[in-house]
Structure 1
Amino acid sequence: MQGNCLPLKEQKETFVQDMFNAIAGRYDLMNIVMSFGLDRAWRRFTTQRADLKPGGHGLDICCGTGMLTIELAKATGPAGKVTGMDFSEKMLAVARENVQNNKLSSTIQLFQGNAMKLAFEDDTFDCVTVAWGLRNVPDIEIALREMVRVVKPGGKVVSLDMGHPSVPVFRQLYWFWFERMIPFMGRFWCNNKKAYAYLHDSARVFPHQQELVRIFTQYGLTSTTYHNLAGGVVAVVEGKKPQGK
């Protein structure tokens, strides 16, 4: 391991897959607890930024338990389609339960796959989203390149993930809380302190939202920007694939 709980790059895929398989059953509950219930509003905002129209086709990679996938389905409606993909079989099992309980279940297709090598043709989807997923792939740029490849010209690529607060004092208090409390909560709720210590450490090294905008631009996206939520604790980064690309 490098750092505290960060795997080496070549070990990351297996480490992350095993970790999410271990915490899948309590993942949604922990999201609510850690975000003080704000995670639903964050997903709704991400869906708005994805600009998926009724009847459109969206892709949600690293979909986890399918909560953002369901929000996208609400946007596209019964005439559209949303594909959710994750490589953790146990997270997908929870996602299938969540989707079955939703009236738009027929709109959603879930399958197991790898964000680093998307099994889709070029220019397939009206939008591609990822929530708390880029932080967990072995190579952010490869995953982003794949997202850009499969989105249609004019379509949006949108990431929801941890940000880096910049307000003095609040920034220090936030990282102190994250470092001390999140692993404790992970041990209490999921009996897995190590997994939630990893979430802290991976958030620390994840690119600042401004840097992620630069990477989005580097891979050909235009109108790139970011939106800070909760004081920059969470950030939504977006870009549009140019027409004719």
Structure 2
Amino acid sequence: MTEETTHFGFKKVATEEKEALVGEVFTAVAAKYDLMNDMMSGGVHRLWKRHFVATSGIHQGDLVLDLAGGTGDIAKLLMPQIGKQGKVIIGDINQAMLDVGNDRMIDAGFMGRFECIQMNAEKLPFEDNSIDAITMAFGLRNVTNKQQALNEMYRVLKPSGKAMVLEFSKVNSSVLKKLYHFYSFKILPEIGHFVANDRDSYQYLVESIEQHPDQETLKSMFERAGLEMCGYENLSGGIVAIHQGYKL
């Protein structure tokens, strides 16, 4: 029997091994993850995330599942959106990332308005039709079976619920693409080595971006999951894109 394989960055690995390998990466970078994002993007990731939440259409009182939300940055931004009657469930497969997010949310004074749960996006621990909205920022590319994760989002969303994914995508300018590629593969791993003494983890993060589906492919995957009114918005020339779809 042929062993099923998937990508871990540019490497091909057994499908059953990827979850553990990704876990090792994020355990290694958890403590300095947000600092590294600042250095890698010049702080622009914060603007992307603010726009992502500001345009989410999430309402006061909503129950929101923030997948791959470990460090709590999206959850913090969601607090004014959901109000005191709403709640954010921070879901992440990596406990080290969740520990960072839990401490951050408590320090910010949000006790009782959030919950951190370790979970796999491919098998969400919720009943059908139970979540008002799902957000996922810079996490889908690390999921082994992305289509299954989108299928699960559709399953747990309430009718009229919305799924939103902010993720690195494909640059639509040839000049910008060359500059971005050089920066990603030549500079970013060295930043990882200098700041976190961990070149390999950041090399993987760069490679995982390169392997992620482009905008139209991901849109079709949203549709295949059953989501409707699917679309995307490119930010920074397509370096990242916000995808969305509704369960009608």
* Bin for the TM-score computed over the shorter chain: over 0.9
1:134-164 superposed Cα distances (whole Å, 9 cap, x missing partner): 1001100011111111111111100011111
Q: Give the letter aligned to residue 67 of structure 2.
A: I
Name the Cα RMSD after superposition: 1.5
Match for residue 57 of structure 1?
A: 63
Counterpart selection for 1:198 from 204, 207, 210 = 204
Picking from 139, 143, 162, the partner of 2:145 is 139
Amino acid at match of 2:200: K
Name the counterpart of 2:213: 207
- Residue 106 of structure 1 corresponds to 112
Q: Aligned residue for 1:151?
A: 157
Structure 1 segment 1-245 matched on structure 2, within 5 A: 6=11, 8=13, 9-242=15-248
| CA deviation profile, 1:182-201 (whole Å, cap 9, x unmatched) | 11111111111011111111
Query: Residue type of the partner of 1:22?
Result: A
Cα deviation for residue 50 of structure 1 reads: 2.8
Q: How many residues are aligned here?
A: 242
Amino acid at match of 2:25: M
Q: CA separation in 2, counterparts of 1:235 and 1:212?
A: 10
Give the deviation of 1:2 after TM superposition: 6.0
CA–CA distance in 2 between the matches of 1:209 and 1:146?
A: 20
Render the CA deviation track for 1:193-227: whole Å, top value 9, x for unaligned.
01111111111110001210111111111111111
> Residue 106 of structure 1: CA displacement?
2.4
Which stretches in structure 2 are left out of the alignment for 5+ residues?
1-5
Question: Which sections of structure 1, spanning at least 5 residues, go unmatched?
Answer: none
SS at match of 2:59: coil
The separation in 2 between residues aligned to 1:77 and 1:143, in whole angstroms, is 28
Call closer, same or farther: CA 1:218–1:78 in 2, change over 3 Å.
same
Q: Which amino acid is 2:63 matched to?
A: H
